Amino acid sequence: DNNGMDCRTLDELYISKEGTFGVLKADIEGMGLNFVSGAEQIIRRDRPLLSLSIYHNASEFAGIYQTLKSWNLDYHFEIKSFSPLTPWGEHSLFAYPKEWIC
């Protein structure tokens, strides 16, 4: 249920447009895996830095990493916690292309 909203993927909206994405940042309340899946072509084409919240549910926490890893993009992955004092925490997955590593 999209609550009457027109929901399209990033690939549907931008893959045919000029320009590139240098960074994709998303904290979309449990829909992160859907977001990543709908941005595969953009991620493959542009190889942006990814900053993705992964703390809303198990599919985000494990699924986003597993999905990106399965695409064999040669990305480096790091998980950072931004609320270490809370029992649930706010964790983000940072992923960046190998060519960004100094």
Write the pLDDT tens digit of every residue in 41-72.
999 999 999 998 887 777 887 888 999 999 99
Whole-model pTM: value is 0.82
In 3D space, the residue among 101, 8, 99 whose CA is nearest the CA of residue 47 turns out to be: 99
- CA distance readout (Å), 26 to 36, 54, 102: 9, 9, 25
SS3 content of the chain, % helix, strand, coil (to 5): 35, 25, 45
Cα gap 22→30, rounded to integer Å = 23
The predicted pLDDT at position 86 comes to 61
Alpha helices in 1-102 (DSSP H): 10-14, 32-37, 40-46, 58, 64-70
Higher pLDDT among residues 6 and 34, named by residue: 34
The predicted pLDDT at position 100 comes to 81
